[in-house]
Structure 1
């Protein structure tokens, strides 16, 4: 999946109601490549998520290659939304990206439960922390 943040915003704004948007987000999650079982380790679990979320980050060429997975279908979809913002970006691009404006444009957090919103923030924080280490 190679979607830009603006394409994600445009795609989600196409739907009239949030039930349709949720279905679309779930479909996005189904399109993510599955994470190989060997990468689903405790050290790759993102702390602060209600569901299990695994994050593998490679930065071999100065560009972050993220592999993500979750045991919850809606969370896999939310991971696809995050991937549109951060995958195939440099550390500087990740740190400079205004994720709050992106989420606001998607009107996303207002439609998530507090625990899902906290989990989404934990995923973002983990990716930003990895970028800050570069």
Structure 2
């Protein structure tokens, strides 16, 4: 169910044996994202439950998920980029059906994130899924 961009990321991860290399790839994905417009860094877009500052501007269009985001932590910026690959371009009905935990497990992320980062990732996923469900 994951988007093609996410499947490509899974393939990239399969070539990396070392978790540190995978971690670096996640960070590089975050660095490649355009920064979020400062005007969008408002309380309404802030994701609660994250150890770092995180903003997600979720904008479903024509039944398709779209969002952009930013964090003040490099690894979290990378996680936002990973979530964009997982969700952006998916039909809203697919967004609510995607088992994000299982998809992230394919990257090995569930085993290598701190409890705080895992909670933050869960909060971002909940925000995306909630907006999708309300937009159906």
Q: Could you say whether these structures have the same fold, taking a TM-score greater than 0.5 normalized by the shorter chain as the test? A: yes
**Superposed CA offset, 1:40-95 (max 9, x none):** 11110001000111011112322121011101111000111111111122210101
Q: In angstroms, what is the RMSD of aligned CA positions?
A: 1.3
Cα distance in 2 for residues equivalent to 1:24 and 1:77: 8
TM-score normalised by structure 2 residue count: 0.92
Count the aligned residue pairs: 133
Moved more, 2-11 or 41-50: 2-11
What residue number does 1:22 align with? 23
**Superposed CA offset, 1:92-116 (max 9, x none):** 0101112122111111111010000
What residue number does 2:122 align with? 121
Specify whether residues 5 and 97 from structure 1 end up closer, same or farther in structure 2 by C-alpha distance, changes over 3 A only: same
What residue number does 1:96 align with? 97
Structure 1 gap ranges (5+): none
TM-score normalised by structure 1 residue count: 0.94
Structure 2 gap ranges (5+): none
Matches within 5 A, 1:46-125: 46-125=47-126
SS at match of 2:11: helix
Cα distance in 2 for residues equivalent to 1:107 and 1:74: 14
